Amino acid sequence: MAPPRLKLPKKKQHLEVSAILLAPLYTGNPASDTILQKLVNIDDYLESGDSHEEAMRKHRGGDPAKALRFADRALDVYSQGLAKFPRSFDLAYNKARLELEKATDPVISEALAVPVIDVLRQALSSHEYARDLEPQHPDPLFNMAQVLTTMAEILAEDDEADDAEAIQYLKRALEIQNVCFQLQEATFAKNRLEIEQAMRETAQEEMSSNGGEQLATVNTITEPQDINQEEQWVSIEEPITAGTLLETVIAQLEALRALCSILSSSEIASAMSALSWIDSYSTQLLTYTLPTLLSENQEALEPRLPDIMLPRATFMGNYLELSFRLSTIDVEKYKQELDAAFSQPVLDATSERVLMAIANALLSFNNALADSKSETHAALRWKILIDAQSRLSSVAKIPNADKYTVATTHLMRGDISLLLQILSYPPTAHPQAQATTPQLLKHAEVYYRNACKMLGTLGSSAGEEKAACELKGAVVDVLQQVNTSQAAAGSSSGQSNGGTGINLTASPQQIKAALESIVKTRGEPWVGDLIEDMVSEGLVLPQIFSAII
């Protein structure tokens, strides 16, 4: 999470008449809005930009487009201020931070007319400018790393993008976070020493004569105060605390997790050297930096142990997957260390976040085993998938659980049902999967239908996911028809459900009938791409839909 923007509280100080600001008037129309104010100094630009940001937050819940317009007005003000005062760190930082918020806010970013990655590139440039103004200030460094991490994750989701570029962004983000942490740590240590010195001086003053105390009282009472002074906006910063340091460690773990995830799903030739780099970085972070931070600030950070242990466990899950894929650990070590990562006493195994994290880690474990092409892991994969299914079921039963999260659990359980069912085919030919294929397909149908209903109640923001659920439900319909035909053919030929001689291809007529409605609304290219994704994810055998892909 990015640190808060510079706050702009008012302090009573002398303000020149030329800088007095009149209240801005807004009509709601960006073309006709009139802002009756004279922007003379840096404070004027800061106040004007802040007023637009407040309006942005006011409207983000009900009118994202209007909120975006106010965000753009604030950015215009900051840009105009920087044109006049190019050395103002406050203006530069606020502009950079707002561009990051504009790109990452889940509501405002939906209203963007340009790709999010373009906004992030501008935010990166703005953060570099702010950093150059104050190289020893940790906040622009923290935010810059967040920009780079977000850019990497977006590129990783783009099939046409270069994974090597995303990996370089994440390495750079981690290097910047490391520098940021060192600066924060130095400031934190300095502040702690100053506080201890102040406490010692206070204790010494309390032991001094009563005359000194009386003199201090007189000085306090007689200090002149100008009650007619005008107000001026000034910038203040959040103090560096142990919690600040912990947030930076969490950000590093999240970047490391993203790096492992991208490497696991790509075919980067330098993946082994990248793993060595991750080993070195994470070892320093997890065996020295984090334990030292926790031990030296035990009282302050003990309530936040779950906040750090869950990202740590999630990173370990992705790290173990990458290590297994690169053959540096075996399946037994993978299983043991994954269990240990999520078995920390401070983690609430019944909470929504922990349950979802465990389910995702188990699914990654299954995918890694599936990609290993070993026929000996069928029983373990079955157990892993059943465990993930159970965790997701527990999430859906949590009272007042987030609606989107519950919808996601149904979607994931539909996928898991297909992953279990596909174990019935050779070379795995798992007996339990073969015996329960009809039930598994029925379960997938129900899960996808429930997910569609829930996503439908969330409005247009979940429209794409709802359409994907509808298509997956239609795919299940095809699979049920193929299974019925397969069972009939197997019965007449004396072969079992997983017989290799049985035709597993759906007819063009079956496919057209099942997919016709979704093709009309979303188009053939969209449908074809999603079915190819299902094949690549191991949810569907490619030969079943060979008639269209």
**Model confidence over 415-449: pLDDT tens digits?**
999 999 999 998 899 999 999 999 999 999 999 99
Closest to 402 in 3D by CA, of 360, 469, 355: 355
* Interatomic CA distance for residues 302 and 300, integer angstroms: 6
First to last CA, the chain: 41
DSSP state of 231: E
pLDDT of amino acid 363? 98
The helix or strand, by DSSP H or E, that contains position 12, with its residue range, turns out to be: strand 10-12
pLDDT greater than 80 at residue 494: no
Q: Which residues pair with 233 in a beta bridge?
A: 10
Tokens of 235: 């910038």
pLDDT band at 203 (very low <50, low <70, confident <90, very high): confident
Tokens of 10: 């008012």
Tokens of 336: 């043991």
Note the pLDDT tens digit of each residue in 247-304: 999 999 999 999 999 999 888 778 999 999 999 999 999 999 999 999 999 999 999 9
pLDDT greater than 50 at residue 21: no
Sign of CA dihedral 489, 495, 496, 502: negative
Tell me the whole-structure pTM to 2 decimals.
0.86
Burial class (CB in 10 A: 0-12, 13-18, 19+), 139: buried
What is the rounded average pLDDT of the residues 15-24?
31
The helix or strand, by DSSP H or E, that contains position 51, with its residue range, turns out to be: helix 42-59
DSSP state of 304: G
CA distances from 480 to 292, 438, 442 (A): 56, 7, 8
